[in-house]
Amino acid sequence: MKTTLLVFDAFYEIEELHKAGNKHATGVMESWVEAECFTSKPGVPENYTITVSGETNTDDLSPAPVAWSRPDIDIPLHGLAMLKNSRDGIVPDVDGECGPIKQMEELKAKGFPLAYVGDVVGTGSSRKSATNSVLWFMGDDMPYIPNKKTGGLCIGEEIAPIFFNTMEESGSTPIEMDVKQLGTGDVLEVYS
The CA distance from 115 to 185, in Å, is 10
Over residues 125-163, the pLDDT tens digits come to 888 888 988 999 999 998 888 888 899 999 999 999 999
Mean pLDDT, range 27-51, rounded to an integer: 79
pLDDT score at 25: 93
CATH class given for the domain over 47-189: alpha beta
CA nearest 129: which of 54, 47, 74? 74
Contact criterion met (CB below 8 Å) for 153 and 115? yes
What kind and span of H or E run contains 153?
A: strand 153-159
How is the chain split into domains, by residue range? Answer: 10-39, 47-189
